[in-house]
Amino acid sequence: MHIEGNGITGFDLNIQPGFKPETELALNWVQTSNGNYYSTDRGVSCDIYNAALSAYGKESEINNFLLQLEGNRLIDDHVICLSEFNSGEHIFGANINYSVYSISATILKISDRLQKTWKGFRVDLTMRHLSPSFVGSSSFPSLLHLDIGYTGTAKVAVNKFDTYTGEMSYADDKSNSGIFEGTFFFTDAEMILLRNYIKTNRGSNYTIAGISGVTYPFGPNRGTYPLTAKLIEWSDLGQAWNDHWRMKLKFAEVV
């Protein structure tokens, strides 16, 4: 990745594998008394596209990186221009357009300078994309490759009260929605489709046609496919290996 900007003499920066896109759509979710989830939306213009990454290199390279950032900061600019990304450096997510001449970004956080090997140094960064544009179309890919460790259940909210006389009383919220949470693997093309679909459909209902290997995603007492749900949480976990990504999804059943 190449970095330029006001007060900066352009230079290349090495990015370690294991970066993580940190996208936050401007949605807030609340569960109402009927068991369903509803969202309020401040709109696409309020969405946030951050990236958590580590820059590494020889001590002289990391020193130069910090010196260039200081030059940018001293003229009170704080905007850096990113370009010439390698094919595996899609730090803000798979569906961001990296083919533009440069990406405007700013650094939100930077760690202390860390010595990791005898001559190797590293700094950890959080960057924000200031004007994202996107590539690819939008659709929900098949949920075929699920990692070990998913949860699929419907919480039973029965509150039991022991009265003064010893009699029991009960409060049973029978409308609690089921919750499924799991991590999936997607190809680069699937990840572009999925991220665009989430960005476009936002608080809408999803029809889950099936999840490979999962018979009862919301527990055996909630039935099976097709299921209507809302995606109330998602986390892009970055690239698992070349051209494959990991995404954690949390679905709430619409009851």
For the chain, the structural domain boundaries read 2-129, 151-253
Residue of 161, 145, 140 whose CA lies nearest to 204: 140
Give the residue-averaged pLDDT of 238-251. 93
Q: Which of 61-65, 119-123, 156-160, 175-179 has the lowest mean pLDDT?
A: 156-160
pLDDT of residue 177: 80
Residue-level length of the chain: 255
In angstroms, what is the C-alpha Rg of the chain? 23
Give the residue-averaged pLDDT of 140-148. 95
**Position 28 confidence tier, pLDDT thresholds 50, 70, 90:** very high
State the Cα–Cα distance between residues 219 and 212, nearest whole angstrom.
15
Residue of 37, 54, 169 whose CA lies nearest to 109: 54
Q: In 12-137, which ranges are continuous DSSP H helix?
A: 59-74
Give the residue-averaged pLDDT of 8-25. 95
Q: Which two tokens stand for residue 7?
A: 């007060």
Give the residue-averaged pLDDT of 179-197. 97
Residue 241 has pLDDT above 80, yes or no: yes
What is the overall mean pLDDT for the chain?
91
* 241-245 own/partner pairs: CB under 8 Å, 24+ apart: 242/88, 243/187, 243/188, 244/185, 244/186, 244/187, 244/188, 245/94, 245/185, 245/186, 245/187, 245/188, 245/191
pLDDT of residue 156: 62
Dihedral of alpha carbons 4, 243, 109, 58, sign: negative
Residue 42 has pLDDT above 80, yes or no: yes
**Position 170 confidence tier, pLDDT thresholds 50, 70, 90:** low
Residue of 70, 123, 130, 122 whose CA lies nearest to 106: 130
Give the residue-averaged pLDDT of 136-155. 92
Query: pTM for this structure?
Result: 0.88
pLDDT of residue 175: 59
Beta bridge partners of 120: 58
Beta bridge partners of 153: 179
| Percent of the chain scoring above 90 in pLDDT | 76
**Position 59 confidence tier, pLDDT thresholds 50, 70, 90:** very high
Residue 131 has pLDDT above 90, yes or no: yes
Single-letter amino acid code for the residue at 244:
H
Q: Are 25 and 202 in contact (CB under 8 A)?
A: yes
Q: Are 107 and 79 in contact (CB under 8 A)?
A: no
CB neighbour list of residue 62: distance below 8 Å, 6 or more residues apart: 55, 56, 113, 121, 122, 123
**Position 196 confidence tier, pLDDT thresholds 50, 70, 90:** very high
State the Cα–Cα distance between residues 20 and 217, nearest whole angstrom.
27
Residue of 68, 25, 71 whose CA lies nearest to 202: 25
pLDDT of residue 52: 97
pLDDT of residue 34: 81
**Position 173 confidence tier, pLDDT thresholds 50, 70, 90:** low
Q: Are 93 and 112 in contact (CB under 8 A)?
A: no
